[in-house]
Structure 1
Amino acid sequence: MKLAYWMYAGPAHIGTLRIASSFKNVHAIMHAPLGDDYFNVMRSMLERERDYTPVTASVVDRNVLARGSQEKVVDNIVRKDKEEKPDLIVLTPTCTSSILQEDLQNFVERAQIDAQGDVMLADVNHYRVNELQAADRTLQQIVEYYLKKAQKKGELPEGKTEKPSVNIFGMTTLGFHNNHDCTELKRLMADLGIEVNEVIPEGASVHNLKNLPRAWFNLVPYREVGGMAAKYLQEEFAMPYIDITPMGIVETARCIRMIQKVLNEQGASVNYEEYIDNQTRFVSQAAWFSRSIDCQNLTGKKAVVFGDNTHAAAMTKILAREMGIKVVLAGTYCKYDAEWFKEQVGDFCDEILISDDNGAIGDAIARLEPSAIFGTQMERHVGKRLNIPCGVIAAPIHIQNFPVGYRPFLGYEGANQVVDLVYNSFTLGMEDHLLEIFGGHDTKEVIHKGISAESDLNWAKDAKAELNKVPGFVRGKVKRNTEKFARERGLSEITLEVMYAAKEAVGA
């Protein structure tokens, strides 16, 4: 265990709460100490929710530690069942409840006697999985619970829908542009003549989960959430699923062709080639942009990509394959799914980094000095310190990444949005030129900082003046190389002579 001031994925209970609070009329009871209930504040702020977040903390305090939790937890479940009348209450364990070694399943069984709605325990190992893995597992568990319940009662509908239909998995609260992506996928399915059977879990009712097997196939656009539920449906109900992320022109077309294949194997007769061709050549602006002079100006520029598996892999492919940008490093913090990521990006980048250590990715960015970064909010902070522009493409994210306007990342409109993000993230040639002429946006003397907050070396006045003559886009590199040269030789002050010696040492 190590102390970290930045986590790319939160603890397991956050993933469980994301799933539970995404469903309609589902309440979560979180068994945790005071302080672990920050999810309520985070969700209401970031999602700009008008209603209260349906999560209640059953607080572990000194009385609980002295007498045990069972009575308090059971009372909280029964009380919320009477007050809110939810369809389902999910008891959410945390690391604290695991440490106390409490029999939470017994609590659930006790509460179910008096509760009118369903009560279930989120069966997640909080020491072994993170937020994303827990969300995936909790969604699968809820889907399985209600399908088995319907089977037991003989309420499971038979047969498929008359027209081709799809279940869309993985749309959750606090997901990166999930609401926008969902709208875009619904539009895409409508264009293809496919009905949307259910969207799970965002806005879904647990009573409708029994209808999931009626769809012709399942679509899992995100690698992180939805895969386990789709695999369960494939094993139990022989439902095919598609897990190609339709992000970018090429992958969107590949996803549509796979949908065509799955539907035709079930007796449909569809051909989407004309639709793909029309969207690619005439409707979407992304394909046009890739042939424009603006995109040619980006050819060969260096970029670093880092994020979750879904968005980092997709963005790496878009940059390298569709825009001619050189990806010098692609990385992900989803270490548990590293092999899949390596397989996806291996042919499209120079270097792969699998790490959840923000310092490691920060150091890699400082070493590679790309023209732009595409990552999470943490990489945006790193970029600010290094004066490298950053486009945010994946969670964890800031409130500015929950736009009120329409900003999907999936589908053909998503491809347009990605193009804008990429193009606007690079500091373009004319901008460099103007910054040099006018000295940036202010007249203060600026020395480009490295990844460290401050330099531990003194710069002589004449050396500092000489450094300021260096063009802005390479000033940071010159400063870091000079300071490295000085440290290796035990120098505490950088003079003009030291600068020239460092320059000769690197062959510049």
Structure 2
Amino acid sequence: MKLAYWMYAGPAHIGTLRVASSFKNVHAIMHAPLGDDYFNVMRSMLERERNFTPVTASIVDRHVLARGSQEKVVDNITRKDAEEHPDLIVLTPTCTSSILQEDLQNFVERASLEAKADVLLADVNHYRVNELQAADRTLDQIVRYYIEKARKKGELPTAKTEKPSVNIIGVSTLGFHNQHDCTELKRLMADLGIEVNAVIPEGASVHELKNLPRAWFNLVPYRELGLLTANYLEQEFGIPYVNITPMGVVETARCLRKIQQIINAQGANVDYEEYINNQTLYVSQAAWFSRSIDCQNLTGKKAVVFGDNTHAAAITKILAREMGIHVVWAGTYCKYDADWFREQVSEYCDEVIITDDHGAIGDAIARVEPSAIFGTQMERHVGKRLDIPCGVIAAPIHIQNFPIGYKPFMGYEGTNQIADLVYNSFTLGMEDHLLEIFGGHDTKEVITKGISADTDLAWTREAQAELNKIPGFVRGKVKRNTEKFARDRNFTEITVEVMYAAKESVGA
């Protein structure tokens, strides 16, 4: 385990809570110390929820540490069952409750005797997995539970829907633009004449899970959440799944062609080529825009990409393949799925970085000095410090990345949103010079080569004034070259004389 004030993926219990609170009429009991219940505030704020988040903290306090939980957890489960009348109560362990080695499964079995709701203990190893892995595992566990329950009662449907239909798996609360993506995917399926059999977990009732086997295929748009469930449904019921993320013109078309192949293999006769052509030409402006004179200014510009697997891989392909932008490096914090990421992006970037160390990513950005960054909220902070623009493309995210307006990243409308994000993330044309002439909106100067705090050097007032005279579009490079010159010679302070010496050393 690792303590950090910045984390790309949260602890396991956050993933379990994301899935539990995404379902309709499901309540989660979190056995945790006071402070671990920040999920409630986070979800209410970011998702702008008007209703209370259905999560209750069963607090581990000094009395629990002294005497054990005794009846506390069981009482909390039965109390919430009586108050909320949920269909399902999920008991969520945390690292703290795991350390205490309390028998939570025993608490669940005892509470099940009294509660009218189903009661489940999240089957997640909180030492070994992070938020994303736990969410995937919890969704799989809940789906298996209700399908087995329906099977035992003889209520499991066996017939497929009359028309081609799909289960969209992996849309959840606190996901990056998940609600907008889901709306776009539903619209896409409707255009293709495909019925949406179910969307899970967001907004779904656990009683609907028994109907999942009726779909002709499953669509898993996000690699981080839903693959375990899709694999289970394929093994158990032979339902094929599509896990090509429809993000960007090329990948959206590839996803639709895969769906066409799967549907036709089950007896249908569909051809989506005309639809793909019409959408690419008239609905998606991205293909035209990438060839316009505006976008030609971006050709060959350097960018870096970092995020989760799904979004980082998709954006890397779009930048390199569809917009002609040079991706210096692409990276992901999903270390558990590193092989897939490397296979997806290796041919579209110069270097692949797999790490969950935000400091290392900050230094890697400073090292290559890209024209733009496409990353998480953390990389946006790095960009602010280095005076490099950043487009946010993946979680973790800020409240400003939960837009009220319609901003999907998937489907053909998503291609337009991404093209706008990419184009507007670069500083183009006269913008640098205008900022220099009229004064920029952010005058904070960065005087470090990297991001780490221990690389700061002192600049005299005169040297800082001299630095400010240098045009903005090269100031960062001059600054970093000067600091490198100073460090190589063990100078602790940068004066005007040091600046001139550094300039002469590079022949400028």
The reply to whether residue 468 of structure 1 matches residue 495 of structure 2 is no
Corresponding residue for residue 20 of structure 1: 20
**1:101: how far off?**
0.9
Deviation string, structure 1 residues 256-310 (Cα, Å, up to 9, x no partner): 0000000001111000000001111122111110110111010011101000000
**1:387: how far off?**
0.5
Within 2, Cα distance between the matches of 1:170 and 1:60?
31
Corresponding residue for residue 482 of structure 2: 482
95-104 or 134-143, larger mean C-alpha shift: 95-104
**1:487: how far off?**
1.9
**1:494: how far off?**
2.6
Report the AA paired with residue 102 of structure 1: E
Within 2, Cα distance between the matches of 1:46 and 1:461?
42
**1:460: how far off?**
4.5
Corresponding residue for residue 421 of structure 1: 421
Corresponding residue for residue 126 of structure 1: 126
Q: Do the aligned residues in 1 keep the contact of 2:283 with 2:413 (CA within 8 Å)?
A: no
Q: Runs (4+) of structure 1 moved beyond 6 Å? A: none
User: Structure 2 vs 1, CA of residues 458 and 274 (structure 1 numbering), >3 Å: closer, same or farther?
Assistant: same
**1:3: how far off?**
3.1
The reply to whether residue 37 of structure 1 matches residue 37 of structure 2 is yes
Corresponding residue for residue 327 of structure 2: 327
**1:474: how far off?**
1.6
Within 1, Cα distance between the matches of 2:109 and 2:452?
54
Report the AA paired with residue 356 of structure 1: D
Corresponding residue for residue 53 of structure 2: 53
User: Structure 2 vs 1, CA of residues 465 and 80 (structure 1 numbering), >3 Å: closer, same or farther?
Assistant: closer
The reply to whether residue 395 of structure 1 matches residue 389 of structure 2 is no
Question: Secondary structure, in 3 states, of the residue corresponding to 2:365?
Answer: helix
Within 2, Cα distance between the matches of 1:449 and 1:283?
45
The reply to whether residue 438 of structure 1 matches residue 438 of structure 2 is yes
Within 2, Cα distance between the matches of 1:325 and 1:59?
51
204-213 or 426-435, larger mean C-alpha shift: 426-435
Across the aligned residues of Structure 1 and Structure 2, the Cα RMSD in angstroms comes to 1.5
The reply to whether residue 235 of structure 1 matches residue 225 of structure 2 is no
Question: Secondary structure, in 3 states, of the residue corresponding to 2:348?
Answer: coil
**1:76: how far off?**
1.0
User: Structure 2 vs 1, CA of residues 129 and 436 (structure 1 numbering), >3 Å: closer, same or farther?
Assistant: same
Deviation string, structure 1 residues 433-471 (Cα, Å, up to 9, x no partner): 2123334348x7x64443356974443455434322322
Within 1, Cα distance between the matches of 2:4 and 2:108?
34
TM-score (norm 1): 0.97
Question: Secondary structure, in 3 states, of the residue corresponding to 2:167?
Answer: strand
325-334 or 97-106, larger mean C-alpha shift: 97-106
Q: Do the aligned residues in 2 keep the contact of 1:385 with 1:449 (CA within 8 Å)?
A: no
Deviation string, structure 1 residues 177-229 (Cα, Å, up to 9, x no partner): 00000000000000000000000000000000000000000000001000100
Deviation string, structure 1 residues 68-127 (Cα, Å, up to 9, x no partner): 214111111111111111000001011111111111111111111111111111000000
Q: Do the aligned residues in 2 keep the contact of 1:448 with 1:475 (CA within 8 Å)?
A: no
Deviation string, structure 1 residues 393-420 (Cα, Å, up to 9, x no partner): 0000011111110010000001100011
Corresponding residue for residue 307 of structure 1: 307
Report the AA paired with residue 207 of structure 2: H
Within 1, Cα distance between the matches of 2:503 and 2:304?
26
Question: Secondary structure, in 3 states, of the residue corresponding to 2:71?
Answer: helix
The reply to whether residue 496 of structure 1 matches residue 496 of structure 2 is yes
Deviation string, structure 1 residues 313-335 (Cα, Å, up to 9, x no partner): 00000000000000001010000
Report the AA paired with residue 28 of structure 1: A
Corresponding residue for residue 6 of structure 1: 6
Within 2, Cα distance between the matches of 1:46 and 1:67?
37
How is 1:67-82 mapped onto 2 (pairs within 5 angstroms)? Answer: 67-82=67-82
Within 2, Cα distance between the matches of 1:440 and 1:453?
25
Within 2, Cα distance between the matches of 1:481 and 1:152?
70
Report the AA paired with residue 430 of structure 1: M
Q: What is the percent sequence identity of the aligned residues?
A: 82
**1:427: how far off?**
0.7
Within 2, Cα distance between the matches of 1:456 and 1:375?
25
Corresponding residue for residue 109 of structure 2: 109
Corresponding residue for residue 153 of structure 1: 153
Corresponding residue for residue 214 of structure 1: 214
Corresponding residue for residue 225 of structure 2: 225
How is 1:73-472 mapped onto 2 (pairs within 5 angstroms)? Answer: 73-441=73-441, 447-450=445-448, 451=451, 456-460=456-460, 462-472=462-472
Question: Secondary structure, in 3 states, of the residue corresponding to 1:346?
Answer: helix
Within 1, Cα distance between the matches of 2:456 and 2:274?
62
Within 1, Cα distance between the matches of 2:347 and 2:201?
34
Within 1, Cα distance between the matches of 2:292 and 2:120?
55
**1:23: how far off?**
0.2
Question: Secondary structure, in 3 states, of the residue corresponding to 2:305?
Answer: strand
Report the AA paired with residue 394 of structure 1: A
Question: Secondary structure, in 3 states, of the residue corresponding to 2:430?
Answer: helix
Q: Do the aligned residues in 1 keep the contact of 2:74 with 2:107 (CA within 8 Å)?
A: yes
TM-score (norm 2): 0.97
Q: Do the aligned residues in 2 keep the contact of 1:11 with 1:130 (CA within 8 Å)?
A: yes
Q: Do the aligned residues in 1 keep the contact of 2:46 with 2:402 (CA within 8 Å)?
A: yes
Within 1, Cα distance between the matches of 2:2 and 2:198?
41
List runs of 5+ in structure 2 lacking aligned partners: none
Within 2, Cα distance between the matches of 1:496 and 1:66?
64
Report the AA paired with residue 421 of structure 1: L
Within 2, Cα distance between the matches of 1:182 and 1:285?
20
Within 1, Cα distance between the matches of 2:454 and 2:107?
53
Report the AA paired with residue 44 of structure 1: S
Q: Do the aligned residues in 1 keep the contact of 2:316 with 2:349 (CA within 8 Å)?
A: yes
